[in-house]
Structure 1
Amino acid sequence: MSTDDNAHGHWPEGYARVVLDTVDSTMAEAARRAPDIERPTWIVAKTQTAARGRRGRPWIVPKGNLNATLIFRPEATAAEAAKRSFLAANALYHALSIYVPAEKLSLKWPNDVLLCGGKVAGILLESSGRGPFVDWLSIGIGVNLRHTPDGVTDASFAPTSLREEGGWEVAPLDFLATLADAYATQEAKLLRLGFDRIREDWMHKAARLGEVITASTGREEITGIFDSIDRDGNLVLITGTGPRAIPAADVYF
């Protein structure tokens, strides 16, 4: 294990890094370390044995891809903490655009990054807390840098990888340094300008904005024009019965 903050590229001030060879999942490791963290900490593993995505779905992580979790203590309610998914998406977009043309990238609500229409990265948030503010927040990020996962048959969007789409070769720890710096910039922007600016930046990169999409909540499927995300981060669709604000769903094009 390594905690060297400066071994791979520029590392943002105030953030720690833990590098592991193997772990069940970086999200699980973050939860175990949560009581003892003193500053925002990125946990990255070369290999994960039990990684997961949204709703407990398995996340396949071939060696050479990025598997990382940021854990920290934001002064935020659970609803405010959940908005960090948009900060993470913006940061991923900026980090990936260094290695592949930005016009090939787009952001899919609520927490995916698309490259040439395929899923290249996913974001997963977890938090804990019983008071008005969360005790801690974990942002798990998986990025297909070198390999496209095999055997994914139930995904809404087929996976792809940076390498498959002609992007520059980049090692996971080097990419993490780029991503961590981009994320720190997003936190600074949130502090100075508020979520409205984060939201505006996200929508400039949104996939299928202004087009007809379908959101599946598990109880119903809602089809409408993708109008925006609101100030709470909800997906807003214009349907035949008027606007609908949707807090959680899987989106299909």
Structure 2
Amino acid sequence: MTVRSLLSILADGRFHSGSELGESLGISRSAIWKHIRRLEEAGIEIYSVKGRGYRIPGGLDLLDLGQMRAGLREDIKSKVGTCSLELTTESTNELAMQACQQGNCHGSLYIAEQQTAGRGRRGREWVSPFARNLYFSLVWRFEQGIGALEGLSLVVGLSLVKAIESLGIQGVKVKWPNDLLFDEKKLAGILVEVNGEASGQCQVVIGVGLNVDMPDQGVDKIDQPWVDLKSITNAPAERNKILAGVLNELVSGLEQFEDQGFAPMIADWQSYNAHQGQEVALQVGKGTVTGVCKGVDPSGALLLETENGREIFFGGEVSLRRTL
């Protein structure tokens, strides 16, 4: 709690002396110095000036569960249950999966300011700078088993797009099966993991990473073009407001999916399909299949018009085919 309290004071971006911080937190100046080192190790830039104290340049937009909940719609608040907010964790999906193994945690939300081992698809690292983006996992229980989850990741992506549009941002697209793109650059990723039985009740962990305000440093590990909300809008991004908006749309989308499945949402999803009507290359195992993207079927599978006719694919990674 002391580290969180220290961050809350420094979040205003102004200088605070060691004695001021120690008095506010009830600890020694040497203890303050040790906590400052811990924050720097987490990748937070802190200016230290003799005679003036410590300062985080530009301040921090820290997540706050109270502010986030205040932004939830009244019909959604009761459906988002236990909320856990960590400063740093290996992976919010790991926290959620561990909780699932302990019992029913339907509606539980796990959020972190930073992930040290965040994962994307196929085990890729999800770069997670401290207090700049959104990293969270929501647990949702389904009664009809794993077989009823076809199309779920597409529903999550569609919900995220609608949440971003509610912020006044147009032009975000979905890339099958679970990425969000803007101007062909990655804005968000989704990782869905299942804990349960094939035919009985199961709990699904829905992990989301959304780029909000990426720093200039430390992003060299990202191996593909990316974009964040701040660069799209050229305005400060309020992460608590964005998180609440995403949860409003996500919970609504999950409830509709529970009742009706993915099929009624196909037309909506197609309207945001980043590759609709384009020639794409689909990596399947060690091979590549090329064809024209014709959208998805009611199960969420990808439809490609290839030289063999229309084919259906349930896995793989889509990438635009380069034209010569």
Superposition TM-score, scaled by structure 1 size: 0.90
Structure 1 residues 137 and 7: CA distance shift in structure 2, 3 A: closer
CA distance in 2, matches of 1:245, 1:225: 12
C-alpha contact 1:122 1:143 (8 A) present in aligned 2: yes
CA distance in 2, matches of 1:245, 1:124: 22
Please tell me the residue identity of whatever aligns with 2:220.
G
CA distance in 1, matches of 2:68, 2:241: 10
Q: Kindly indicate whether residue 187 of structure 2 is the aligned counterpart of residue 139 of structure 1.
A: no
Query: How far is the alpha carbon of 1:203 from its aligned partner?
Result: 0.9
**Residue in 2 that maps onto 1:120:** 187
CA distance in 2, matches of 1:111, 1:137: 15
- Percent identity at matched positions? 25
C-alpha contact 1:229 1:235 (8 A) present in aligned 2: yes
Structure 1 residues 74 and 168: CA distance shift in structure 2, 3 A: farther
**Residue in 2 that maps onto 1:9:** 71
Query: How far is the alpha carbon of 1:187 from its aligned partner?
Result: 2.3
**Residue in 2 that maps onto 1:222:** 289
**Residue in 1 that maps onto 2:97:** 31
Q: Kindly indicate whether residue 212 of structure 2 is the aligned counterpart of residue 150 of structure 1.
A: no
Please tell me the residue identity of whatever aligns with 2:161.
Y
Aligned residues: 250
CA distance in 1, matches of 2:177, 2:202: 23
**Residue in 1 that maps onto 2:117:** 50
Structure that is richer in helix per residue: 2
Query: How far is the alpha carbon of 1:129 from its aligned partner?
Result: 2.1
Structure 1: which 5+ residue stretches go unaligned? Answer: none
**Residue in 1 that maps onto 2:310:** 243
Structure 1 residues 82 and 138: CA distance shift in structure 2, 3 A: farther
**Residue in 2 that maps onto 1:173:** 240
Query: How far is the alpha carbon of 1:142 from its aligned partner?
Result: 0.1
Query: How far is the alpha carbon of 1:85 from its aligned partner?
Result: 0.6
Give the structure with higher Rg (CA). Answer: 2
Structure 1 residues 7 and 153: CA distance shift in structure 2, 3 A: closer
- 1:238 aligns to what SS in structure 2? strand
Superposition TM-score, scaled by structure 2 size: 0.71
Query: How far is the alpha carbon of 1:100 from its aligned partner?
Result: 4.7
Query: How far is the alpha carbon of 1:136 from its aligned partner?
Result: 1.2
CA distance in 1, matches of 2:235, 2:164: 10
Work out which structure has the larger RCO, using CA pairs closer than 8 Å and 6 or more positions apart in sequence.
1
Structure 2: which 5+ residue stretches go unaligned? Answer: 2-63
Query: How far is the alpha carbon of 1:143 from its aligned partner?
Result: 0.3
The alignment's C-alpha RMSD in Å is: 2.2
